[in-house]
Structure 1
Amino acid sequence: MRKVSHATGRNDLLAAQVNNRRANDRAIIENPLAYFTDAELELDVQNFAETILPSVEYEKILRAAKVAKDIRLYDEVARSPDPNMGLDLPVLLSPREKKHLKRERDVVFSERGMRRVIITVSLAALLQGFVQSSFNGASFYRHHWGLPGEDHDVTWRLGGANASPWFAAALVGCPLSLPINYWFGRRGGLIIAAALIFASSVAAIFAESWVALCCIRIVNGLGMGIKAVSTPILASETAVGFWRGTAILAWQLWVAFGIMLGFAFNLIFTTASDENLTIRFIQGAPLVPSLMLFVMALWFCPESPRYHLQKGPNYSPEKAYKVLRQLRNTELQALRDMYTVYKSIEQESMGSLSQDPNANLSPGFWWALWDMCLAFKQLFQQRRLYNALISAGTVNLAQQLSGVNVFAFYSTELVSSVSGDSDGGHVKPMAYSLGFGAINFLFALPAVRSIDTLGRRRWLLMTLPFMALFMLGGALSYSIQDDATRTGIIALFLYLFAVAYSPGLGPIPFTLASESFPLSHREAGAASAISVNLFFAGLLSVLYPSIRDDNRGLGDAGSLALFAGLNVLAFVLVFFLVEETKGRSLEDLDLVFAVSKRRFMSFQISEYLPWFIKRYIFLKDVKAPELYHDMIWGPTKRDSEASAPHLRQASLHNTSPPQPYYEPQQHGQGPLELSPTYSRGGNDYRQYGY
């Protein structure tokens, strides 16, 4: 093998992987350490220990780096009941390390340090649900703000008051999360958001006109936009990669719980003898969870370690490692994640579109703002970025196309019109709304764990057809003549709709928005995708009163039928445009989204759809096709089981990397060697097909 300098070889390796991250035409998912020989890994770790993390001994970092490089083998050792397995590996795992490596993949929230993050995320979500319930309950008392009756002007003013926080969140709050996250971090974003919502909730107690209410809700919307971006990013960047979806799921789960709890309090408040007191209680209810979130984020929640690895005013690998030590159960896990994340960010930085030599330093206020504007622009210039934006934006749009926020915003009015209790019948509409919130919460629970095992895409494709069917059933039920029967049947279909929505389209939009983008563009990408969600929520809020207007619009039945059709459209969009992200690290997703959308769509039509028809319609036992293939060094699991143990162990001590194999995403189905001549001879990295 021709000898090359470490620096030259290292730069070639990085250049090869950077090219693959930007245009992954072969759909290969690779470990960022895959091409290092043992000698190169040792030299790179030595440089890392001296320049990046000098507080930790070189030997400890090298030990973690070796585990990260061959993580598949060490996972097998950790999961094996044989105590002698792995004794010949370069790194000998302690019993405690084996235990926690196994629990990391088998047990949801096995990392004790994640509990404070999950509590913080849950409080942020609970606050979101409380705010939505507050808006919903307040709409029932429109006359308090000078909006009596059902005439055209009143309808538009009510819609404007209800839409103002969502438009403020989408157009100002979400973009504002970029500078706030840049200077103050994800925790800082939550603290500022909690303060804004607290202040607006106090002010809403004293609002006497719809104009004042609209202005107060704009302030509330700024807080919701900042929080909606910062919270899922915090969850995604701190979670173990395998259970990232479940960690972010805490957002939707507790939004649903907040809606349910908010409706419960609304129902209690309606029993007050003084209507003015009822309205003030409903309007001020969000101030309690906002204060709890402020305290939790300020004093107890850890910051994202990836934030401290992002170039900027708070860049500090030492702080990042300190946070990882709090989040992970063992030093080995913390150092493993620290090293692999840093290497992925290093590759990401080399592939940045920005040519400014100060890009990694971000000096000055105005330069930082310009860099943030550039980040939004770059979302539409690089395949890896705009593919992620299409995927995350599609799912966030689909959530609003489903019509779920018709019930979140207007369920009290909708039930009142169905049951004929619009004049003073407060309790029944509030009770139906409470039932909707309870179902939304309870049926989000099945997505815990399964969002990371079954997958995001599969949940969506399974539930969207049922959502369309149940929405259509609700629309057709308006033809029933008997009031009591009509109300019950429509409520049943809407509850069934909530059952289908809760584990699928409920949690997945914010999950994809927070995980799909690289660190350099994570806030810009998440803000853009979530802005789509919140903007269309505002649009729905302002338009729905007119859509359901019996005189000028479609009426209640027609509006539900419209959303039934939009659910079908959402299904088509998801099928063709949304990739699966389960089981991948945040850094692996660079390679998933670098595959062209055209190739992804072609795969769905030419391979996945024919397989689905054969498997589930004709019931043939055929192997599922795979678009992505993992690159690994050495034997696959199937090879290991078929070969003698001493041969497998011997391969681990070969300093020259063996022929790389490509294995389907679902490990254990057998290796797929794409190129027999694909070797590392002579360090000619061009032959890797990049």
Structure 2
Amino acid sequence: MEPAQGDKPVSHKLFGKAAERERRNINAKLSNPLAGLSHTELRSQGRAFAEFHDMGDESDTRAFELGAVLAQSPERHADITDLTNLEKEVLRRELTNKWAQPWKMYAVIALCSLSAAVQGMDETVVNGAQIFYKHQFGIGDHSPRSTWLVGLTNSAPYLCCAFISCWLTVPFNHWFGRRGTIFLTCCFSAVACLWQGFVSTWWAMFIARFMLGFGIGPKSATVPMYAAETVPPAIRGALVMQWQMWTAFGIMVGYASDLIFYNVDSTAIVGLNWRCMMASAMFPALVVCCFVFACPESPRWYMSQKQYYRAYQSICTLRHHKIQAARDLYYMHTLLEAESSMKLGQNKLLELISIPRNRRAMVASQIVMFMQQFCGVNVIAYYSAEIFLEAKFTPIAALSASLGWGVINWLFAIPAIYTIDTFGRRNLLLLTFPLMAMAMFFTGFSFWIPETSQTARQACIVLGTYLFGVFYSPGEGPVAFTYSAEAYPLYVRPHGMALATATTWFFNFVLGVIWPALKAAFTPQGAFSWYAGWCVVGWWLVLLFMPETKGKTLEELDQVFALPTRLHAGYGLRQIPYFAKRYLLRKDVQPEKLDGGQDRGLAQDVGFNA
């Protein structure tokens, strides 16, 4: 007897439910693979691991026995009776004095900070150099051809990042390791920056800057990953977060370099000033190349290459005591084993789309990555000197004002280390997007101030760009990469991050290439208003489609992203009257919880389908 026609959709729906539950079970297992095991089982497994991989003498074997127990619940170290007083004190200080680390750990922190600074400087030395080289290359007039060629040349690295270099992150890391990838990408950056200083045509500059993309793309994904895999859990979030802060520092140094080389005598060598600006970005890259191998390789990478003893040696240099090293290494081992045992039978890039929980995480991640560019920040980062020249600043004053913006962009990124884990990712964006929109409108409308009031006109334009930096730096700046790194389940996280990184660099390219033509067609007033409008759109997208991830475990995130999209959107819309009643009308109303009560039951009823 054949089934009724209506049975097929039901069967398909049940299959979808089963697949979704399977993925949720996988994510729960990855959340803590050691959950439910007794201390006796854990000690036995820890000893077997140490002996099988020949980790050292009896003291190392004991460390792995106890480390396996600690890996299950690190915060409950006081309950383990076999720990010595010294070991308990080390574990206690790990929580109370979390920034007291071995010097090798500080070397890793310095390396990651320098690598981020290289990134920022690579991006912004072109800001001042383009004032000069576009005229030397014959693309300095206001014709449509010249405006598009200026934009294409400036944004060439991000074209390479979006379509080629970001997708090399996985093979580069597999072949060369974390340190090797950082070394290789900084070599690319150093060579490309020097190359930029010797070109004599716009197309040669385009090629040199396109090659610079090989130094930007893989590094932007590898350095946060290297930081996350080496630092202790207590400071992991703060250190990974600092990628954005030190990138902002590099942006500021790039502006300073433009100002330093502005007055270089270009009589003997045509364009020596802008050539020095472009080439100056090679120096921090060379420092990283010389310094990178003084730091240990990622223990997790060693383990992925089946080099367990080298992984143990590496992590021992990054921890005060071998009991900490054994604990963290054994937990890495259990996660890798859990990941390798997952036989899902489908391409993981397809799983980003086909699995509803992953798809919602991807949509939220793509929103923040897209809006990191289309809020308009890199219009100011790459073209601030041109913008200020449009406002009748002198060239030296335009570069000085750009440096001021860079200082603000860096200083206001520092508080994000605190605010991102207290106010939350979503709340920061909902607060700062309207403020960024107003700053963009203010900047654009300031160009309508008559030139007879030149001082007021210039002051308002500078104030608008500075206010935008104040609102962007603790909000969309650090949130984008942080949110993308935690929204995806572990088993698809590398692929999700590759997509997120490629997205942000692609729209970075779009932003850079269209700005000169956009400004020529819309005037500065219309061009700035265009990005102000996108900030308004971004606010609505965040409100409707971006759940909060602050302080949630992997299992809790599965519950949040398992809720249907319409529930997220409805919850966001209900927050508007709640805010009005609570903060404007001063009524005593309680906030609604997205993952509780009625929403949770409804999610179960619909089987977690979109």
Which runs of no fewer than 5 residues in structure 2 stay unpaired?
1-18, 602-610
Instruction: Indicate yes or no: 2:283 matched with 1:288.
Output: yes
Q: Tell me which residue corresponds to 1:498.
A: 469
Match of 1:477 among 439, 446, 452: 446
Secondary structure of residue in 1 paired with 2:327: helix
Q: TM-score, normalised by structure 2?
A: 0.85
Structure 2 CA distance for aligned equivalents of residues 133 and 589 of structure 1: 37
Match of 1:67 among 66, 70, 75: 70
- Residue 536 (structure 1) shift: 0.4
Instruction: Indicate yes or no: 2:559 matched with 1:567.
Output: no
Secondary structure of residue in 2 paired with 1:506: helix
Which residue identity lines up with residue 276 of structure 1 in the other structure? G
Q: Cα distance 1:251–1:466, how it changes in 2: closer, same or farther (>3 A)?
A: same
- Residue 195 (structure 1) shift: 1.0
Structure 1 CA distance for aligned equivalents of residues 114 and 95 of structure 2: 24
Q: Deviations over 1:391-427 (max 9, x none)?
A: 3322211101110000111111111112x24xxx310
Q: Tell me which residue corresponds to 1:49.
A: 50
Give matches, 1:169-318, under 5 Å. 169-274=161-266, 276-297=271-292, 299-310=293-304, 314-318=305-309
CA contact (8 A) 1:23 1:383 kept: no
- Which has more helix, going by share of residues? 2
CA contact (8 A) 2:157 2:210 kept: yes
Structure 2 CA distance for aligned equivalents of residues 90 and 205 of structure 1: 64
CA contact (8 A) 2:30 2:338 kept: no
CA contact (8 A) 1:465 1:568 kept: yes
Q: Cα distance 1:30–1:291, how it changes in 2: closer, same or farther (>3 A)?
A: closer
Which stretch of structure 1 is more off in the superposition, 195-204 or 451-460? Answer: 451-460
Q: Tell me which residue corresponds to 2:338.
A: 347
Which residue identity lines up with residue 312 of structure 2 in the other structure? Y
CA contact (8 A) 2:178 2:297 kept: yes
Structure 1 CA distance for aligned equivalents of residues 579 and 227 of structure 2: 34
Give matches, 1:573-592, under 5 Å. 573-583=541-551, 588-589=553-554, 592=557
Q: Cα distance 1:70–1:217, how it changes in 2: closer, same or farther (>3 A)?
A: closer
Match of 1:114 among 105, 108, 113: 105
- Residue 561 (structure 1) shift: 1.1
CA contact (8 A) 1:28 1:628 kept: no
Instruction: Indicate yes or no: 2:365 matched with 1:392.
Output: yes
Q: TM-score, normalised by structure 1?
A: 0.76
CA contact (8 A) 1:104 1:110 kept: no
Instruction: Indicate yes or no: 2:399 matched with 1:430.
Output: yes
Structure 1 CA distance for aligned equivalents of residues 255 and 419 of structure 2: 28
- Residue 438 (structure 1) shift: 0.6
Q: Tell me which residue corresponds to 2:434.
A: 465
Structure 1 CA distance for aligned equivalents of residues 299 and 558 of structure 2: 23
Structure 1 CA distance for aligned equivalents of residues 387 and 100 of structure 2: 39
Q: Tell me which residue corresponds to 1:685.
A: none
CA contact (8 A) 1:22 1:351 kept: no
- Residue 478 (structure 1) shift: 2.4
Q: Cα distance 1:98–1:523, how it changes in 2: closer, same or farther (>3 A)?
A: same
Q: Cα distance 1:189–1:496, how it changes in 2: closer, same or farther (>3 A)?
A: same
Structure 2 CA distance for aligned equivalents of residues 152 and 432 of structure 1: 28
Which stretch of structure 1 is more off in the superposition, 31-40 or 99-108? Answer: 99-108
CA contact (8 A) 2:27 2:490 kept: no
CA contact (8 A) 2:46 2:66 kept: no
Q: Tell me which residue corresponds to 1:537.
A: 508
Q: Cα distance 1:182–1:62, how it changes in 2: closer, same or farther (>3 A)?
A: same
Q: Cα distance 1:583–1:188, how it changes in 2: closer, same or farther (>3 A)?
A: farther
CA contact (8 A) 1:465 1:571 kept: yes
CA contact (8 A) 2:252 2:410 kept: yes
Q: Tell me which residue corresponds to 2:15.
A: none
Give matches, 1:314-393, under 5 Å. 314-354=305-345, 374-383=347-356, 385-393=358-366
CA contact (8 A) 2:126 2:278 kept: yes
Which residue identity lines up with residue 543 of structure 2 in the other structure? F
Which runs of no fewer than 5 residues in structure 1 stay unpaired?
1-17, 75-85, 356-373, 630-663, 665-673, 676-690
Structure 2 CA distance for aligned equivalents of residues 571 and 108 of structure 1: 36
Match of 2:457 among 481, 486, 500: 486
Q: Cα distance 1:328–1:583, how it changes in 2: closer, same or farther (>3 A)?
A: farther
- Residue 245 (structure 1) shift: 2.8
Q: Cα distance 1:596–1:265, how it changes in 2: closer, same or farther (>3 A)?
A: closer
CA contact (8 A) 1:309 1:315 kept: yes
Q: Deviations over 1:175-230 (max 9, x none)?
A: 01111111111211111111111111121111000010001111111211121121
**Matched residues, number:** 571
Q: Tell me which residue corresponds to 2:374.
A: 401
Q: Tell me which residue corresponds to 2:478.
A: 507
Structure 1 CA distance for aligned equivalents of residues 65 and 581 of structure 2: 49
- Residue 169 (structure 1) shift: 1.2
Q: Cα distance 1:403–1:593, how it changes in 2: closer, same or farther (>3 A)?
A: farther
CA contact (8 A) 2:31 2:554 kept: no
User: Could you tell me the percent identity over the aligned residues?
Assistant: 32
Q: Tell me which residue corresponds to 2:119.
A: 128
Match of 1:548 among 519, 525, 539: 519
Secondary structure of residue in 1 paired with 2:474: coil
CA contact (8 A) 1:124 1:231 kept: yes
- Residue 548 (structure 1) shift: 0.8
Give matches, 1:158-177, under 5 Å. 158-177=150-169
Structure 1 CA distance for aligned equivalents of residues 547 and 102 of structure 2: 28
Secondary structure of residue in 1 paired with 2:353: coil
Q: Cα distance 1:394–1:133, how it changes in 2: closer, same or farther (>3 A)?
A: same
Structure 1 CA distance for aligned equivalents of residues 301 and 490 of structure 2: 8
Q: Cα distance 1:412–1:446, how it changes in 2: closer, same or farther (>3 A)?
A: same
Structure 1 CA distance for aligned equivalents of residues 587 and 75 of structure 2: 32
Structure 2 CA distance for aligned equivalents of residues 594 and 309 of structure 1: 31
Which residue identity lines up with residue 496 of structure 1 in the other structure? L
CA contact (8 A) 2:43 2:66 kept: no
- Residue 332 (structure 1) shift: 2.4
Secondary structure of residue in 2 paired with 1:554: helix
Q: Cα distance 1:271–1:198, how it changes in 2: closer, same or farther (>3 A)?
A: same
Q: Cα distance 1:62–1:580, how it changes in 2: closer, same or farther (>3 A)?
A: farther
Which residue identity lines up with residue 252 of structure 2 in the other structure? M
Q: Cα distance 1:606–1:111, how it changes in 2: closer, same or farther (>3 A)?
A: farther
User: Could you list the runs of 4 or more consecutive aligned residues of structure 1 that deviate by over 6 angstroms after TM superposition?
Assistant: 18-21, 24-29
Secondary structure of residue in 1 paired with 2:476: coil
Q: Tell me which residue corresponds to 1:37.
A: 38
CA contact (8 A) 1:122 1:250 kept: yes
Secondary structure of residue in 2 paired with 1:351: coil
Which stretch of structure 1 is more off in the superposition, 238-247 or 404-413? Answer: 238-247
- Residue 136 (structure 1) shift: 1.2
- Residue 164 (structure 1) shift: 1.3
